Amino acid sequence: MQFPGLFNYWIAIVLMMAGFYMVMAHGNLIKKIVGLNVFQVSVFVFYISMSKIKGGTAPILEPGFEVYSNPLPSVLILTAIVVGVATTALALALIVRIHDAYGTIEEDEINAQESES
Amino acid sequence: MMFAAGTLAVLVSMALALARALLGPTIYDRIMAVNSFGTLTVILIAVIGFLSDRPSFLDISLVYALINFITTIAIMKFFKYNRIGRRSGEDLGGL
Amino acid sequence: MSPQVTMQLALAAPLLGTVLIVLTGHRPNLRETVTLVTAAVMFLLVASLVPEVMAGGRPEVVFGNMLPGLPIALKLEPLGMTFALIASFLWIVTSIYAIGYMRGHHEQNQTQFYAFFAVALFSAVFVAFSGNLLTLFLAYEILSVSTYPLVTHHRTPEAKRGGRVYLGILLTTSIGFFLFAIVWTWLAAGTLDFTDGGILSGKVSDTVAGVLLALYVFGIGKAAVMPFHRWLPAAMVAPTPVSALLHAVAVVKAGVFSVVKVAVYVFGVDFLHSLAASEWLQYAAAATILLASLVAMTKDNLKARLAYSTVSQLSYIVLGAMLATEISVVGGGMHIAMHAFGKITLFFCAGAILVAAHKTEISQMRGIGRVMPITTFAFLIGSLSIIGLPPFGGMWSKWYLALGALDAGKQAMVAVLMISSLLNIAYLLPIPIRGFFCEPDDNPGHGAGVQEAPWPCVLALSVSAVGCIVLFFFPEPVYNLLAGMFAR
Amino acid sequence: MISVHFPVLLVLVPLIAAPICLLLRPLPGATWAIATAASWFCLYVTVSLLFRVLDSGTISYLLGNWAAPWGIEYRIDLLNAFVLVIIAAIGAVVMPYARASVTREVSPRRIYLFYTMFCLNLAGLLGIAATGDAFNLFVFLEISAFSGYTLISLGRDRRALTATYRYVLMGTVGATFYVIGIGMLYMMTGTLNMMDLAARIPAVAQTRTIHAALAFLTVGVGLKLAMFPLHTWLPNAYTFAPSAVTAFLASTATKVAVYVLIRMYFTVFGGAEIFEMFPVRETLMVLALAGMFAGSFVAIFQENCKRMLAYSSVAQVGYMVLGISFATVTGLAGGMIHLFNHALMKCALFLVMGCIFYRISSVKIADMAGLGKRMPLTMAAFVVAGLSLIGVPATVGFVSKWYLVLAALEKGWWPIAALIVASSLLAVIYIWRVVEVAYFRPVPEGAPEVTEAPLSLLVPTWIMVLASVYFGIDASRTFEVAHAAATLLIGGGK
Amino acid sequence: MVALIVDVLSWALILGGGAFCVIGAVGMLRMPDVFTRMHAAGVVDTAGLGLILIGLMLQAGFTLVMVKLALILVFVLYTSPMSTHALAQSAVSTGVQPLLADGANNQKDKEDEPSKT
Amino acid sequence: MAAAAIGMIRLRNLFAVVMLSGIFSLSAAALYVVLDAVDVAFTEASVGAGIATVLMLSTLALTTTEEAIKDHRNMSALVVVLIAGAVLIYGTLDMPFYGDPMAPIHLHVAPLYLRDSIVATGVPNVVTSVLASYRGYDTLGETTVIFTAAASVMALIGRGRRKVKHGVPEGAPSHGYSSMKPHPILRVTAKLLIPAILIYAFYVQAHGDFGPGGGFQAGVIFGSTFILYALIFGVDNTRIAIRGWVRRTMMASGVLIYAGTGVAALLLGGNFLDYSALLHDPVHGQHLGIFLVELGVGVTVSGSMITIFLIFAGQDR
């Protein structure tokens, strides 16, 4: 499971861009949120990738282990995951409201309705 | 060594399950694939824990199993009762 | 009372007056009494400062810093003294006139009118007293904004349009050019105080100074140098007292006053004289003088014609400043006074004709002199003063301007002054002549009921007309006062 | 003794107030009282902090008493103290206003949530400004963003929802970009503390990672501060949010983002050098100028007054960014002064909108016909604040313009100075459209009888208006603080 | 000696489990319709997971780890039939027909849209 | 993962997309385990795969499952994405290689955590000690974010909002997330499972000091118990089992416990969140402090999770 060099980061970046593309390009509100999720998770992967030390192990101190991976990115990402799920919940709640108000969750249909009114 | 072999087997299976999830064709195939994928992840994490000599990570597997279950139930309910929003008023009978 | 206190009181008086006017708004008589009393108090306060200034005093007041190193400061010097004196004196006259006009014309929102009028006067005197460019700019903008409600007093679509042009041009030029120039000056000179001999000399290259000068002259939109003159005719939608005091005296004079002040105290006469750019601006001013006169001839609406005449006359003063000799600057300063009396008389008359005969177009005014002899006669006096014929005050300022032009070696400018005087004759004199000598129209709509305007109007225009004559015979005080600019 | 803990208390008090508000659901009045008390307390704390910083220099507060690069540090220097006072002051003024305004604009069942969210937002914004830790900043950015989203979505127009949605998307993308940037910085330096970063970045400043980090931070923060062309979330969000929310957010949220940008550039990346290394200055300057003109132009054509002001905010943000892009003491001070000044005047203007909405339930310009007569005090406030936006002297708008022009001229870039002046003139047009309608157009037939707004709305409005006049006439104090802060930052932020 | 036996046994179990996983997954991919695929998925859930976990348990010995493994095993064995049952039932009830021997069903036409019935 | 991501872009059926995002999240979590970030994996497993998916499903249930077909004119989006990607790749070029023990992040700050945290706090799980003590303030923020999100959802779609326009007509039978009465197997199983899961949640809560886990994960598990309950026994029953005020109190009190711990430290003479001041022995104080704040996190998270889910699930009535 050991990728050479920077490969790991590149994977994360490709995933980020896939998620970002979903956010930007898709008109469906839910799909945008899914894209946002993908985007965020990829950033988390990116962070976690940098915390790994070859031959290291999880930073839970236990006798018998010498090298531990970096705990700090984990801490940061724990926080970020929570933020991410909070975003999802909020955005989904909004989508429900939008669906109530407009009867659709397609961006262009909503725009059409807005420009009418 | 054997853990590695086990890991490999599980990874292959995961790839296949993913393929099924992508191919569909029906919703139920996807659900099933996701479900299997979850189970496989449970195994994977358990094995990896042993692979890296830190079997205490099993907690994660346990949570996976739990969450996977809940998700599946939620999906079922979703399909049972809310197929397309609330427009379908008809009762589909007991599950 | 020390002069410093007097200055502050002179500024405080109209503000206090504003408050009182608003408070007494529901009782017109009381309200107008307040206006008159305020005007009188302010004039007395301002007048009491004259001996001090004549004696060479330059009282200063510094309020807190507006920006670090840049206080809001007052400083009294001869030019400001002259301007303040004229403005505050004519306020009394205009107030009397306004009482007659506003009542006679049944205007609405009179309380608002008087209140903003007081604010405008406050800012005009604030301009006159300002001790540095920043304060000047501050006062200048207060003046622009506080006169906007007066210009748009009628709330009609035309008023709205006029107001738009008025505020648009004044703000555009002042923020776009004037402020820009001020900031540049501050950067270059490190100070904005009005100092004898100027602050820019030696601080900037000639090119930059030229650009700055142009920014100042055009940026002070109230000086109405073409092509930024459009606001003045547009402002004629205002009630006549406003046109009279503000657009013949306070506002436009604040503009040219600022130009002169910048010329004398920021650039310094000597530095200015050495600049090539000042010559270009002389041509701009000369062009404005002639063009505006020509335009004035084409206007049938009396107030519009007077407005273009004002545009033309203002450039005399700008020209005086740009000629940059001591005598031409003094001539310019005197023209502030002389033109003020002349033009306010003309506007009073225009207003009186409107109130009494409901006429605005010159072509309707045949024979008006027969039913309104005093008014028409006053109009004649005002016209002659503007033209610059003796025995009227307007002669002196033209005289000194011409002297200044010769002094500067600009014979062409003397010619411009001459031609302009001829044009003045051409567009001003026909009106009283028509009024006295032509037969009235046989239009049944008017003629019978027409008589002189209400007595306050007549009184006011008589006073200002007499002023024109008095200034011919006693120009020395004004001259001496202004000459004090270069006393040191 | 307790004043030692002021740096953390100012965030903590509103933070604790929020759950208490949630618990006090049956008593909307009590939630209002708590939120108001919290915001006033914050004002007191921030002002006293500002004076302390002026007296004795930067204050550092170690959370959990862990030494700086390991634990999280609160670091109050002149810059944050300045921003903190702005936020707290706006909060303290808007709160009393909110009571009447919110009762009218928000469903009664959600009022307690409104105050909960308001406290959270206040805490979040103050937290962003106070912290000295790059990641902690992100956390509080999200707190303020979340509560901001909710506050906006409380608007009754259904378009508030889509506006919020757009804001959520763009805001989250911005935050994620910010996280990516921080991640790269962390990767190269191993630290998250801003001062520590500042100390360690020069060693690796030439690496491509740091360049990319800078790019991501700029875009991420740019999204939050509605820098042109990343502003598209802003107009609708401000238009359809409840008035008190718009007033508060418009004058604080984007300002805090500007603060973050300044902090990143001048403290973390070490100030002026980055402007020499990359085309940062050119990019920022072009975007700022484009924003100034585009925002103003679009504002001219708006029919909805709140929307017009929102676009004007986009333009005004341009001024601040422009000031930053000069990277000189005067420019930065100008940007910061404008930050303060714009907060005052925009708050005042949006509060006026709230007053108007309170009475006529609309903020369309066309519906404001004749209001000059019927709501004289409100409209007078609008005129004064509008003049300030234009930049007429004796108002705050003039002061900022003065310094920005000065900064441009100092650098010898007089065309830019001319553009600053020119764009500010566009404000004349859009402000005056409203004034003309309010004063010149007669009251339409059959319009409901309208009286002056109630005192509880007018007093806060006029406080802001008078403040914007006061600080326009006596700008030395703001200038001194801004100038000192700018000197500190240009000097490397030590 | 005992340790060796345990080791060998657990090896066998893990490898066997891995094999079942793969078999099940292949089955999921290759089987013709939902119901038969479900059948294959069951192999993964029961045989695959069960064998591997038992193998791991043998490795772990009598520790907390073993308890946890046992818990997982019990849990999955408990829930997996439930979800399969639920899945099948809802599939049937929403109109998905099992693919009959005569191939009369046109499954392929119903991609992703069973819900429209 | 890449396959899942691309699949998500291509598929129009939102339901399938949600499924795939679940898979995506699962595989991300597996990856975290490989990369030694077990706590993160724990969280991702419970949140990304669980809660987020369930919430998305609820939303789908309330809206629609099909994305409209439209012609794709997304070149501009593609360009933006590619630019961003290019900048990122550019940025990676100077990065330390993956797994390099000499990378800056492994030399500064972090070694101290690994060395000192056990001494200073007595907690072997460094992630927990950093999370709860060194960067405890971040975690307070995180708790607040979750609290905010729950309150936001309450504000947005909580009870008492206007009646929906596109729903079933009034009085029509509603079948949403009502109970699964006809299904005895599920009910019996759930009755057995739920207490076990609850106990497990407490275990995760308490065990966070020594292994992966902690307040957040425990909170999610605790919350998911109620979600399971709601799925099987019906939302209404759940609302009775755990009333609104209880949920709100949980949400609020967690934050208050956390902040209160900090304030207590402050009152006892330390800085905010300086747990060493809590007891005479600093290490015990740290331990106590970490326990308390984790408890606070757990309470808020579980309260918030339940609230959010119940609101979503209760939408169609």
From the list C246, C25, C33, the residue with the least C-alpha distance to C145 is C246
Closest CA–CA distance from residue B54 to any residue of chain A (Å): 8
* The pLDDT of residue D420 is above 70: yes
How many independent structural domains does chain E possess? 1
A49 to chain D: nearest residue by CA?
D187
| Chain E residues touching residue B12 (CB < 8 angstroms) | 21-22, 25
Total CB pairs under 8 A between chain C and D: 85
Please indicate whether, in this complex, the C-beta atoms of F189 and E79 are within 8 angstroms of each other: yes
| Residue C29: burial class (beta carbons within 10 Å; 0-12, 13-18, 19+) | exposed
| Chain D residues touching residue F144 (CB < 8 angstroms) | 15, 18, 120, 123, 143
Q: Give the β-pairing of D73-76 and D59-62.
A: antiparallel
Closest CA–CA distance from residue A113 to any residue of chain F (Å): 15
- Those of residues 37-56 in E touching chain F at CB distance below 8 A are none
pLDDT < 70 positions in chain E: 93-117
Confidence of residue F178 (pLDDT cuts 50, 70, 90): very low
Averaged pLDDT, F60-76: 66
D88 or C228, higher pLDDT: D88
* The pLDDT of residue D180 is above 80: yes
- pLDDT at position B93: 32
DSSP lists the bridge partners of residue F66 as F13
Please indicate whether, in this complex, the C-beta atoms of A101 and D187 are within 8 angstroms of each other: no
Does residue B90 sit within a domain? no
Please indicate whether, in this complex, the C-beta atoms of D183 and A46 are within 8 angstroms of each other: yes
Could you give the CA distance from residue D105 to residue D244 in angstroms, rounded to a whole number? 9
Q: Which amino acid is at C442?
A: D
| Chain A residues touching residue F110 (CB < 8 angstroms) | 70-72
ipTM score for this prediction: 0.83
Q: How far is CA C114 from the centre of its chain?
A: 19
Would you call B85 an interface residue with chain E, using a CB distance cutoff of 8 Å? no
Instruction: List the chains bordering chain E where 3 or more Cβ pairs fall under 8 Å.
Output: B, F
Q: Report the run of H or E that residue D307 belongs to, with start and end.
A: helix D305-326
Over D447-468, what HEC string results? Answer: CCCCCCCCHHHHHHHHHHHHHH
Q: What is the dihedral of CA E116, F3, F6, F10, to 10 degrees?
A: -30
- pLDDT at position D43: 92
Does residue A2 sit within a domain? no
Could you give the CA distance from residue C64 to residue C76 in angstroms, rounded to a whole number? 18
Averaged pLDDT, C259-271: 85
Task: For residue E85, count other CB atoms closer than 10 A to its CB.
Answer: 16
* The pLDDT of residue B89 is above 70: no
- pLDDT at position F8: 57
Please indicate whether, in this complex, the C-beta atoms of D406 and C183 are within 8 angstroms of each other: yes
**Residue A55, domain extent:** 7-116
Mutate to test the interface with B, among F38, F39, F222, F224 (most CBs of B within 10 A): F38
Could you give the CA distance from residue D413 to residue D407 in angstroms, rounded to a whole number? 9
Domain ranges of chain F: 1-109, 127-165+176-317
> In the 8-state DSSP scheme, what is residue D441?
S
Please indicate whether, in this complex, the C-beta atoms of B57 and A58 are within 8 angstroms of each other: yes
Sign, CA dihedral C207-C208-C213-C214, equals: positive
Task: Point out the residue among F2, F17, F98 whose CB comes nearest to the CB of A52.
Answer: F98
Please indicate whether, in this complex, the C-beta atoms of C155 and D439 are within 8 angstroms of each other: yes
In chain C, the percentage of residues whose pLDDT exceeds 90 is: 0
Could you give the CA distance from residue D394 to residue D387 in angstroms, rounded to a whole number? 10
Could you give the CA distance from residue F221 to residue F51 in angstroms, rounded to a whole number? 10
F175 or C10, higher pLDDT: C10
- pLDDT at position C315: 87
- pLDDT at position D88: 92
Please indicate whether, in this complex, the C-beta atoms of F11 and E112 are within 8 angstroms of each other: yes
What pLDDT digit, counting tens, does each position of F198-227 carry?
A: 888 888 888 777 777 788 888 888 888 888
From the list B55, A57, B6, B7, the residue with the least C-alpha distance to E61 is B55
CATH of residue A12: 1.10.287.3510
Please indicate whether, in this complex, the C-beta atoms of D150 and F151 are within 8 angstroms of each other: yes
How many independent structural domains does chain B possess? 1
| Chain F residues touching residue D215 (CB < 8 angstroms) | 87, 91
| Chain B residues touching residue A62 (CB < 8 angstroms) | 54
- DSSP assignment of C106-159, as one string? T-S-HHHHHHHHHHHHHHHHHHHHB-BHHHHHHHHHHHHHHHHHHHTTT-SHHH
What pLDDT digit, counting tens, does each position of A25-69 carry?
A: 777 888 888 888 888 888 888 888 888 777 777 777 777 777 777
Rounded to the nearest 5 percent, the helix, strand and coil shares of chain A are: 70, 5, 25
Please indicate whether, in this complex, the C-beta atoms of D150 and F148 are within 8 angstroms of each other: yes
Among B58-72, D232-246, F57-71, the least confident range: F57-71
The reply to whether omega before D235 is within 30° of 0 (cis) is no
The reply to whether omega before F173 is within 30° of 0 (cis) is no
The position carrying tokens 């991300």 is: F28
- pLDDT at position D40: 92
* The pLDDT of residue C163 is above 80: yes
User: In A, what residues contact D, Cβ < 8 A?
Assistant: 16, 20, 23, 29, 32, 36, 39-40, 43, 46-47, 50, 72-73, 76, 79-80, 83, 86-87, 90-91, 94-95, 97-98, 101-102, 110, 114
- pLDDT at position B59: 77
What pLDDT digit, counting tens, does each position of D428-473 carry?
A: 888 888 888 888 877 777 767 777 888 888 898 999 999 988 888 8
| Chain E residues touching residue F185 (CB < 8 angstroms) | 82, 85
Mutate to test the interface with C, among D330, D398, D423 (most CBs of C within 10 A): D398
What pLDDT digit, counting tens, does each position of D303-340 carry?
A: 888 889 999 998 988 889 888 888 888 888 888 999 99
Is the distance from CB of C155 to CB of C174 less than 8 angstroms? Answer: no
Could you give the CA distance from residue C293 to residue C309 in angstroms, rounded to a whole number? 6
Chains D and E touch (3+ CB pairs under 8 A): no
* The pLDDT of residue B83 is above 60: no
* The pLDDT of residue D169 is above 80: yes
Could you give the CA distance from residue D304 to residue D292 in angstroms, rounded to a whole number? 19
Instruction: Mention every residue, 6+ apart, whose C-beta is less than 8 A from residue C77.
Output: C53, C58, C194, C265, C484, C485
| Chain A residues touching residue B53 (CB < 8 angstroms) | 57
Say whether D62 sits in a helix, a strand or coil.
strand
* The pLDDT of residue B94 is above 50: no
Q: Which amino acid is at D134?
A: A
Q: Which two tokens stand for residue D144?
A: 């303020």
Instruction: Mention every residue, 6+ apart, whose C-beta is less than 8 A from residue B18.
Output: B33, B37, F3, F4, F23
Confidence of residue F166 (pLDDT cuts 50, 70, 90): very low
Please indicate whether, in this complex, the C-beta atoms of D173 and A98 are within 8 angstroms of each other: no
* The pLDDT of residue C151 is above 50: yes
Does residue B35 sit within a domain? yes
Averaged pLDDT, D33-37: 91
Is the distance from CB of C348 to CB of C460 less than 8 angstroms? Answer: yes
- pLDDT at position D490: 80
Largest CA distance in chain C: 69
**Residue E44, domain extent:** 2-88
* The pLDDT of residue C63 is above 50: yes
Please indicate whether, in this complex, the C-beta atoms of F21 and A16 are within 8 angstroms of each other: no
Task: Point out the residue among D393, D432, D479 whose CB comes nearest to the CB of C141.
Answer: D393
Task: For residue F237, count other CB atoms closer than 10 A to its CB.
Answer: 14
Please indicate whether, in this complex, the C-beta atoms of F64 and B48 are within 8 angstroms of each other: no
Does residue B41 sit within a domain? yes
What pLDDT digit, counting tens, does each position of C231-251 carry?
A: 888 888 888 888 887 777 788
Q: Report the run of H or E that residue F143 belongs to, with start and end.
A: helix F136-157
Which letter, b or e, does each residue of C371-381 get, where b requires 16 or more Cβ atoms within 10 Å of its Cβ?
Answer: bbebbbbbbbb
Please indicate whether, in this complex, the C-beta atoms of F13 and E82 are within 8 angstroms of each other: no
| Chain B residues touching residue A57 (CB < 8 angstroms) | 52-54
| Chain F residues touching residue E77 (CB < 8 angstroms) | none
How many independent structural domains does chain A possess? 1
Could you give the CA distance from residue D298 to residue C285 in angstroms, rounded to a whole number? 38
Q: Report the run of H or E that residue C465 belongs to, with start and end.
A: helix C455-473
What pLDDT digit, counting tens, does each position of E85-102 carry?
A: 777 777 776 666 666 544
| Chain B residues touching residue F172 (CB < 8 angstroms) | 89
E83 to chain F: nearest residue by CA?
F186
Which letter, b or e, does each residue of C459-483 get, where b requires 16 or more Cβ atoms within 10 Å of its Cβ?
Answer: bbbbbbbebbbebbeebeebbebbb
**Residue B28, domain extent:** 9-81
Closest CA–CA distance from residue B57 to any residue of chain A (Å): 10
Confidence of residue D44 (pLDDT cuts 50, 70, 90): very high
Would you call B51 an interface residue with chain E, using a CB distance cutoff of 8 Å? no
Task: Point out the residue among B12, B25, B73 whose CB comes nearest to the CB of E112.
Answer: B25
Would you call E86 an interface residue with chain B, using a CB distance cutoff of 8 Å? yes
